Amino acid sequence: MTARVIAVSLDGRHRFSKPNALSITLLAGLGVAGDAHAGATVKHRSRVARDPTVPNLRQVHLLQAELIEELAAKGFTLAPGDIGENVTTSGLDLLALPQGTLLRLGQAALLRVTGLRNPCLQLNKFAPGLMAATLDRTPDGKLVRKAGIMAVVEQGGEVHPGDAIAVTLPEGARRSLEPV
């Protein structure tokens, strides 16, 4: 199966869910044009309160549609954009990607994967029990965060539902994703 963009979403205000759009424009070094989380420095409100000068490693939030399907089987009704992602994907195991992976979305946009989204209690405000449903454990007890990945924009461009996603893995030693 070819990896594809299923939906794109943005919101100019700091709200939990993001409405879907016909397209989004990614801006190099900033994120999604018109989105509240765009910027060279951190925009997540709790992180701004700690240190507003920290580089923004969370410019674009990606979530695999396969998680939406998994959560539906557990009784949660979610649609693309509902848990704040900018890009909903299909056919690509985002959580298995190492740090530094490059994702080409469509013809021009290029993202560099920075880490995992750390599920927060706002998930439970959206649907009780959703935070726990986005967490799992490996057989050896390691915590698995399934609420998507974060990336920065290396090269800007338009992204539309249906766009192909090309993956370029980093050279050398590969580092597993950690929360950013």
> What are the structural domains of the chain?
4-168 (2.40.33.20)
Q: Please report where in the chains the tokens 């539906």 appear, as a residue.
A: 72
The predicted pLDDT at position 47 comes to 85
Tens of pLDDT, residues 119-178: 888 999 999 999 999 999 999 999 999 999 999 999 999 999 999 999 999 999 999 999
Tens of pLDDT, residues 64-112: 999 999 999 999 999 999 999 999 999 999 999 999 999 999 999 999 9
pLDDT of 5 higher than 90: yes
pLDDT of 1 higher than 80: no
Q: Is 155 helix (H, G, I), strand (E, B) or coil?
A: strand
Q: Is 12 helix (H, G, I), strand (E, B) or coil?
A: coil
Q: Is 50 helix (H, G, I), strand (E, B) or coil?
A: helix
Compute and round to an integer the Cα radius of gyration of the chain.
15
The predicted pLDDT at position 121 comes to 86
Q: How many C-beta atoms lie closer than 10 Å to residue 8's C-beta?
A: 26
**Identity at 61, one-letter amino acid code:** H
Give Cα 146 to chain centroid, integer Å.
10
Tens of pLDDT, residues 23-77: 999 999 999 999 999 999 999 888 888 999 999 999 999 999 999 999 999 999 9
